[in-house]
Amino acid sequence: MGLKPNILVVDDQPENQLILDDLLTDDFVVHAASNGEQALTMVTAGTPIDIILLDVIMPGINGFDVCRRLKAWPHTCNIPVLFLTSLDSIADETEGFSAGGEDFIHKPFSAPVVLARIHTHLQLANTRRDLALRNENLELLVNERTRELIRQKQEVINAQDATIIAFCALAEARDNETGNHIRRTQNYVRILAELMRNHPRFCDELNDDVILQLYKSAPLHDVGKVAIPDAVLNKPGKLTAEEWVIMKQHTEFGRDVIAQVEQNSGSEASFLSYARQIAYSHHEKWDGSGYPQGLAGDAIPASARFMAVADVYDALISRRVYKQGYSHEQAIAIISEGQGNHFDPDIVEALLKNDDLFQKIAEDFHDEFATLKTLA
């Protein structure tokens, strides 16, 4: 059996300390602190801590201020903090999340809730830690893959394109989507951008160079899935609520991976900037109901709005182990239903007038099992 995770319980009430110690001692190494100053001293002195349960109302430094200090220090900023509190107002929860806390556990304690939330946030923290370790070797992996792909393509593909394909290879090795999905979606994005380049809302942003960069960066939209555990990523059935939380993290992982490459390489290549936007925001929705930020309308980058339409259309027409593919007409009808709520209404309007271009791309880069027949 592996080592138990270390948990720090910070609460000025001895009875709460006893309750949590009894609950946690079988699964964790429990450390205790009775106030914020003691907790900060323990953590900064090097006590190994994997997760912190932090009371909000305490003498001296309150829990929110303790959390702010922990999140401001590089060596403690990644430790998950779960607030222990009887406060339940929206203002209190807003302040807690603004301070950097991951979650709230309300008093009086419910044992199943306490354990479930601790295990969920430990799993998320471990996933982030795995991603950080992969980032240390990412540049070497990309360079090696780049050299291999340049040889395979007989120097037809330039270094920029090879970098993109290297990223995609990392993601494809973990996911069951095909390389043709990548080719289709990048061509859908290019078509949509070309259709919108003279539109009053887009003409100042779109030109030949930008459209080329969007085309090159679109394949990186799901690169963050490389950090999603296999059990979640390739699960054939419906995800649980906890698994869905983990799956949605791929947008943040993708953004962080691309940002790390930008930083390590010192590159100012615009395609990486667009790739970062697309990876992070392609699941945002026009009405603000998407993730990870809940952006709405023009607050969503245009690159991500193009990708949202392209990705959903291709997901609809593609057969997967858990579903049959829809016909082109059915997919277009579903996209139309999402006009103005899921998708930018002007982008959908352009697609509806030119949907044959999408169908042509789908046919040119079809999978053997793809469903592209028209309705009888």
Q: Which residues contact 38 (CB under 8 A, 6 or more apart)?
A: 10
Q: Which pLDDT band holds residue 129 (cuts at 50, 70, 90)?
A: confident
Which residues are within 8 A (CB) of 35 and not within 5 positions of it... i.e. 6 or more apart? Answer: 10, 12, 58, 59, 60, 61
Q: Are residues 257 and 296 in the same domain?
A: yes
Domain annotation covers residue 159 = yes
**Mean pLDDT, range 195-223, rounded to an integer:** 93
CA distance 348 to 289: 18
Q: How far is it, in rounded angstroms, from Cα 33 to Cα 14?
A: 10
State whether 38 and 158 are in the same domain. Answer: no
355 occurs within a structural domain: yes
Q: Give the range among 180-194, 226-240, 302-316 with minimum mean pLDDT.
A: 226-240
Domain that holds residue 99: 6-109
**Pick from 18-22, 172-176, 298-302, 336-340: least confident:** 172-176
Range name among 59-63, 84-88, 93-97, 200-204 with the lowest pLDDT average: 84-88
Reported as a single tens digit per residue, the pLDDT across 144-155 is: 776 665 565 444
* C-beta separation of 145 from 162 below 8 A: yes
Phi, psi of 107 (to 5 degrees): -90, 145
Residue 283: the pLDDT is: 97
Question: Residue 370: which pLDDT band, with cuts at 50, 70 and 90?
Answer: very low
Tokens 């090159």 belong to which residue?
Answer: 216
Q: Is residue 118 part of a domain?
A: no
* Domain harbouring 50, CATH code: 3.40.50.2300
- In a domain? residue 126: no
Higher pLDDT, 143 or 238: 238
Average pLDDT for 182-192: 94
- 315/352 Cα distance (integer angstroms): 18
* 176/74 same-domain check: no
Rounded CA-CA distance 376/364 in Å is 22
List pLDDT tens digits, range 23-33: 999 999 999 99
Is residue 279 one of the residues assigned to a domain?
Answer: yes
How many whole angstroms separate alpha carbon 165 and alpha carbon 223? 10
119 within some domain: no
Q: What is the DSSP string of 9-21?
A: EE-S-HHHHHHHH
Give phi and psi for 54, each to the nearest 5: -125, 115
In a domain, 133, yes or no: no
Mean pLDDT for 43-49 is 88
Question: Do 158 and 89 share a structural domain?
Answer: no
Segment 367-373 shows an average pLDDT of: 50
Is 150 contained in some domain?
Answer: yes
Residues of the chain with pLDDT > 70, as a percent, come to 85
Please report, for the domain that includes residue 321, its CATH number.
1.10.3210.10
The number of distinct structural domains making up the chain is 2
**Mean pLDDT, residues 181-203:** 95
Express each pLDDT in 284-335 by its tens digit: 999 999 999 999 999 999 999 999 999 999 999 988 766 788 999 999 999 9
Quote the tokens at residue 198.
Answer: 């003279």
Residue % of the chain over a pLDDT of 90: 59
pLDDT for 178 equals 54
Which sign does the torsion angle of CA 44, 138, 5, 55 carry?
Answer: positive
Instruction: Could you list the beta-strand ranges (E) of the chain.
Output: 6-10, 29-33, 51-55, 81-85, 103-106
